[in-house]
Amino acid sequence: MERQKMNFETRKSLIQYGAIAAIAVILYATGLHTDVISFVQRGLLSTGILNPNVEKITEARSKEMENGLLANTTKADLNFQLIDTSGKVTSLTEMKGKVIFINIWATWCAPCLAEMPSIHKLYKEMGDEVVFIMLSVDDDFEKAKAFNSRKGYNFPIYSLASNIPATYESTTIPTTYVIDAQGNLVLSHSGMADYSSEKFKKFLRSLK
């Protein structure tokens, strides 16, 4: 009797593991594993522990401005070109004098997809105040366009039309850069974050 029970439990475990393996294979075969992983990571984002420390940046800038000079800032390199979804080529130099939010992402990057809802929320609230550059590094830009359409995101997405300056080269995606209205690179953040927080909105508004 005990042996039969053990055999039953073994068969039950094998069936469960088999089902899990089958689900995993299906998710990878259909490409849905990225969406599933990003959904799980979104829960981590909600804690705020991965967000950039914008309060520290703001405090440092305030102290420097009191002395009349932003000494510890890097001038952003705006000398590169982008292609939008309609095929129009534009240069970042055309955005000079505005606050710019640059996010480098790809459709195969789960952390990129995890932070997308927060960026979309930020865009809907601040799209008239800040220039958003959602820069896809997908090999096929059509994949990025299809993803954006499927998700209902209406922020502008771009692909590179020229070499990207060394300033924005990163071994990690997503990577986000923020440039102030004076052309200073004030934020460089590697990894996912929740950009829809009130702290981050306040930070962006302080950069005009």
Task: Give residue 180's Cα distance to chain centre.
Answer: 19
pLDDT value at 54 more than 80: yes
At 35 the pLDDT is 72
SS3 24: helix
Question: Does 94 have pLDDT greater than 70?
Answer: yes
Per-residue model confidence (pLDDT) at position 27: 37
In the prediction, which pLDDT does 57 show? 85
Contact between residue 38 and residue 44 where contact means Cβ atoms under 8 Å apart: no
Does pLDDT of 2 surpass 60?
A: no
Q: Where are the domains of the chain?
A: 45-205
Residue 8 is predicted with a pLDDT of 39
Confidence of residue 10 (pLDDT cuts 50, 70, 90): very low
CA–CA gap between residue 172 and residue 163 (Å, rounded):
17
Name which residue leads in pLDDT, 116 or 27: 116
Q: Which of 2-6, 53-57, 123-127, 189-193 has the lowest mean pLDDT?
A: 2-6
Cβ–Cβ under 8 Å, residues 84 and 115:
no
**pLDDT at 13 (0 to 100):** 41
Q: Which CATH architecture has domain 45-205?
A: 3-Layer(aba) Sandwich (3.40)
Q: How far apart are CA 21 and CA 103, in angstroms?
A: 34
Instruction: Please state, rounded to an integer, the average pLDDT across all residues of the chain.
Output: 83
The predicted structure's pLDDT at residue 64: 72
Q: Say what the pLDDT of residue 146 is.
A: 97
Of 59-63, 135-139, 142-146, 160-164, give the lowest mean pLDDT range: 59-63
DSSP-derived letter for residue 156 is -
What's the pLDDT score for residue 29? 52
Pair of tokens at residue 49: 């522990």
| 8 Å CB contact between 60 and 184 | no
